[in-house]
Amino acid sequence: MNLELALATLDSLSENGDKLDPRFYNSVISLCISKGALEDGIRLHSHIVKIGHQPDIFLENQFLNLYLKCGDIGSALNLFNGMCRRNTVSWNVMIAGYCSNGWFLEALHLFRMMLVEGMLPDQLTYLSALKASVGSGDPKHGQQIHSHLIKTGFLTSVRVGNALISMYAKLSNLEDAEIMYRNMVERDVVSWNSIITANAQNGCNYRALTLFVEMKKEGLSADEFTFGGVLKTRDLMEVKQLHAQIIKSRLEDNVFVGSALLDAYAKCEIIQDAYLIFNKMSSRNIVTWNTMISVCVENDQVDKSLQLFMQMGEQGIFPDEYSISSLFKAIATHSKIEEGKQLHALTIKVGLHTDALVGNTIITMHSKHKSVCDCQKAFESISELDCISWNAMIQMYVENEQFEQALTFFNEMKYSGFDHDEFSFVSVLAACTSLSWPRMGKAVHGNLIKMGLVPDAFVGSSLIDMYAKFGVVSDAKQVFNKVEHRDLIAWNSMIVGFVQNDNGNAALKLLCSMWEENVEPDNFTFAGVLAGCADITAIQQGRQLHAMVLKSRIPADTAVANSLITMYASVGSIKEAEKVFSKLMAKNVVSWTAMVGGYAQNGYAKEAFELFEKMKNFQVKPNGITFVALLTACSHAGLTKQAKMFFHMMEFEYQITPDVEHYACMVDVLGRAGRLKEAEELINKMPHEPNALVWRMLLGASRIHGNLDRGKRSMEKILALEPGDSAAYVLLSNLYAAQGNWEGAVGIKRLMRENGVRKEPGKSWIEVRNQVHQFMAGDFSHPQANQIYSKLSELLVKMKVAGYIPQIDSYFHDIGEETT
């Protein structure tokens, strides 16, 4: 029957109010369903209602089927609720229709209503209900339906058994899937495929292959779905054996098998074989092209992926959201800005930019290119936003240092009805850290505790990093202790946290704990612990770590080498630092800067300057930290002229805007040279507000050169910025004492007490027999304290005898501290 002709007949009869044979209506509605002709179906339904014909239950079920297949759930529900009589088919059509439209919880609700109304479900009902259970993502729904099946006797059905295996596998309950499989009275190829796929989906590839062998022994022939399951293996030998079986089964031309096979070779990193299979395939569908494009993207062959995308279009294959999103990922990673713009334009042209999967990757691509405006437009274009869309925007704002906007989006996400997940929290914790907002960070931590996400290693690592950067190491350690199944990132975050807070000893101890728990350190671990050794001058332990790095399977890593250079230079072993630097093949700007800084730190200004010249000859562009090292070298050597030259060079030759640290170095250079007036003028001319560090440099220089007025001005500035800065009080107190003004020194002490400021005790470390010992001024807690102080007194006496007179002005503060 021709649909257009049937509808024309319908229209002419409608004018006369004539009724047609019910079989005519059934034929027309069947045509509407097959063609997805919703509007024509609505015309037919309106005609039937208009002439007062009472359709039978079969016709009403057909209308339900049409509405649900065309996504008109409202019309289907209105019809269903208005039906005088409903049979099992009516319920089945509604439940299956809800599932096909993604309304899984509503489908399960209908299933329960069916039972309440006393209707008996049949096999099709249970199959749809099991599908809805998978869609809901909640295992308890599937378990409840499984219980119903046990009572009804449908459990003996092969189709139902297969559906249960598939359901448990998709809900990551492999154990129950295996039990179901073993208890099946009868099995078909689908049963074997279901359990093979279940194991493969859950990472049990060896079990999947074992089942494949058992299936063959049972005399069953593997089909394309069997091979699709077992080809999840990453063992090359097994892939080749399966490839031989595929050829033997004459399935090498099957599009589904071919796609799975080329993906398997790609996962084994045999890309050339994947290309060969792809090129040999006689027919390819969109899945095949997408798989090959994805293989190229995952293996950083972005140009090849773009070439394949063009070939796909030339062969008449229309790209889908998976093709487009794969390419956007590749373009984002490799900063192909022009190609990205062209692909974005094509995406808009074909209307795929409104798809969430595509839109999310567009946001990520523009984020990498620092195009915030384009990210916002892409977000607004997405027709149905998902959690990933919001997370992509929050992450984008963090990457582009718009931290407050990231927090605003985080809050808007919740108000828009989307629940935060671990990715949302990790991004917002990074924003709190960058903004130095500890209260907000603690509030986010509170939400994480309520949601039960703190034990997660991914979230826990971000919390550790945040608290460490806020200087609250005790809170970072508490989080670390609560993280379940700590991964390498969590360990590294805690090690770096200790190092950032000048607790290198704790970092070394944590490395030992790692080994005790059989966690293998990586290059980031060694880089972090070596930085800790540098802080506590643990040369022997540093050397041992160096030996471990050389013996380990970790490939030569620039970051580790840079840490070794810094460590050796920090403990004064400049020759060992030079040795590491000279052997390093892939030197980056950090490597050169570390060595320049090592020379500067140890008073080798000439060598620092010579290395800087070599750095320029090798076309390595210096950064801001390089110039901090050069200015430090000038300061230690008293080279004012050279310091001014470097300060000018960084800004006008390398376009590096001097920051507070560079100005602090220049103030130190001028201060050591006794040019205090020039140093203060430089501070007053700074383009941004000077911080306490800059004024502290001037205060220190004022103390050395006995300039009390300038020292007092500097202290006022420091205390206005950091009222609790004990170093400022100490420096000014010592300045008064150096001039014999004991009353002024005592006054500063009194002011310090009144303001509740306590001097941070001086700390030092020494390594004896491969053990690091920490000492603090006035500390008697060390087990060998009596012998230490006895030896110190002996040394002081010997100093006096040798003619070295201690500087009592610098003792004043410590004596006073003990008497308070």
The confidence band for 745, taking pLDDT boundaries of 50, 70 and 90, is confident
Nearest to 271 by CA among 297, 241, 309, 233: 297
Of 686 and 729, the structure prediction assigns the larger pLDDT to: 686
Report the pLDDT value the prediction gives residue 816, as an integer from 0 to 100. Answer: 44
Quick: pLDDT tens for 95-138. Answer: 999 999 999 999 999 999 999 998 999 999 999 999 999 999 88
Element (H, E) at 764: strand 763-768
Strands (E) in 66-110, as ranges, are: none
- The yes-or-no verdict on residue 537 having pLDDT over 70 is no
**What is the per-residue pLDDT across 197-256, written as a single tens digit (0 to 9) for each?**
899 888 888 899 999 999 989 888 989 999 988 998 888 898 899 999 999 888 888 888
Mean pLDDT score, 523-548: 79
pLDDT in tens, 314-357: 888 888 999 999 999 888 888 788 888 899 999 998 899 999 99
Mean pLDDT of 153-178: 90
Q: Which regions of 543-620 does DSSP assign to beta strands (E)?
A: none
**Per-position DSSP letters for 138-199, written without gaps between them:** -HHHHHHHHHHHHHHTGGG-HHHHHHHHHHHHHTT-HHHHHHHHHH-SS--HHHHHHHHHHH
Dist. CA 339–CA 328, nearest whole Å:
9
Confidence band of 818 (pLDDT split at 50, 70, 90): very low
The residue ranges of every structural domain in the chain are 659-820
Q: Of 349-363, 374-388, 519-533, 597-611, where does mean pLDDT reach its minimum? A: 519-533
Per-residue model confidence as pLDDT tens digits over 782-803: 667 777 778 777 887 888 777 7
The pTM is what? 0.68
Residue 14 class from Cβ within 10 Å (0-12 exposed, 13-18 middle, 19+ buried)? middle
Please give the pLDDT value at position 811.
44
The pair of three-digit structure tokens given for residue 799, joined into one six-digit string: 């100093």
Quick: pLDDT tens for 661-672. Answer: 999 999 999 999
In the chain, count H helices and then E strands: 47, 2
Query: 542 pLDDT band (50/70/90 cuts)?
Result: confident
Residue 5 pLDDT > 70: no
Percentage of the chain with pLDDT > 90? 43
Percent with pLDDT over 70 in the chain = 90
pLDDT band per the 50, 70, 90 thresholds, residue 298: confident
The SS3 assignment for 269 reads coil
Average pLDDT over the chain, rounded to an integer: 86
Distances (CA, A) of 357 to 77, 295, 389, 410, 626: 30, 18, 8, 20, 43
Residue 584 neighbours by CB under 8 Å, 6+ apart? 558, 561, 591
659-820 CATH: 1.25.40.10
